[in-house]
Amino acid sequence: MPVDDILFDAEDRMEKAAEVLARELRTIRTGRASASLVDHIRVDYYGTQTPLKDMAQVGTPDPKLIVIKPFDPSCIKDIVKAIQASDLGITPSADSKLVRLSVPPLSGERREQISHHVKNLAEETKVALRNVRRDANKQLETEQKDSVITEDAAFKGKDEILELIHKYEKLVDDHVAKKVEEIMTV
């Protein structure tokens, strides 16, 4: 496999790891209402686990309220049940057409816990990035031993992989710093 293919594969896998982290961070509660807080919720809709966003319009009319308006009003009880069963920690209130989620402010202790959780997610992502680097370096060494690529090409490839991991670790750090600041200042 050429060095460029190995680098492309490594960068693709690193990018996916960073995207997973960004997606996870969007679902973490900060004390401010956001439609992404309910993105991960799945509702048992006529026996099928359906993403909430596929069966309802989700909006945030103000910073402390999430409003869910289902396309089919008969499924409001199912939506309420799914929200209560989720790890969101918010009690829904429903009427015949809407489900409202009032986002309470976070205590200082809870902010610290969430910040710690965010940092743990970042560390898991960095471990995934390091695993990608290790795999790519092993692949370069194997290609070199099999005389597919030269020793210089292998060293150059390892240097480029090192640059990639630094780039994505900085991206992870930036995501985490932004989220921690959001958690601590809201």
The answer on 156 and 67 residing in a single domain is: no
Cα separations in angstroms, 12 against 2, 19, 69, 120, 157: 16, 11, 37, 23, 15
pLDDT band at 125 (very low <50, low <70, confident <90, very high): very high
pLDDT, one tens digit per residue, over 17-59 is 999 999 888 877 676 777 777 778 888 888 888 888 888 888 8
Q: For residue 73, what is the domain's CATH number?
A: 3.30.1360.40
Instruction: Give whichever of 3-12, 80-89, 100-109 has the largest mean pLDDT.
Output: 3-12
pLDDT tens for 1-22 read 788 888 999 999 999 999 999 9
**137 with 83, same domain?**
no
**Residue range 174-179: average pLDDT?**
92
114 and 181 belong to one structural domain: yes
Query: Whole-structure pTM over 0.85, yes or no?
Result: no
Judged on CB neighbours under 10 Å (0-12, 13-18, 19+), 21 is buried
Tokens found for residue 67:
């409003």
80 and 115 together in one domain: no
Tell me: do 62 and 127 sit in the same domain.
no
- How would residue 166 be classed by pLDDT, with cut points 50, 70 and 90? very high
Q: Are residues 152 and 168 in the same domain?
A: yes
Last residue of a domain, one of 50, 82, 102: 102
CB 50 within 8 A of CB 42: yes
Q: CATH code at 117?
A: 1.10.132.20
Residue range of the domain that includes 54: 35-102
- The residue from 102, 129, 151 where one domain ends is 102
| Residue 59 shares a structural domain with residue 9 | no
Domain total of the chain:
2
Does the pLDDT at position 154 exceed 80? yes
Q: Is the pLDDT of residue 110 over 80?
A: no
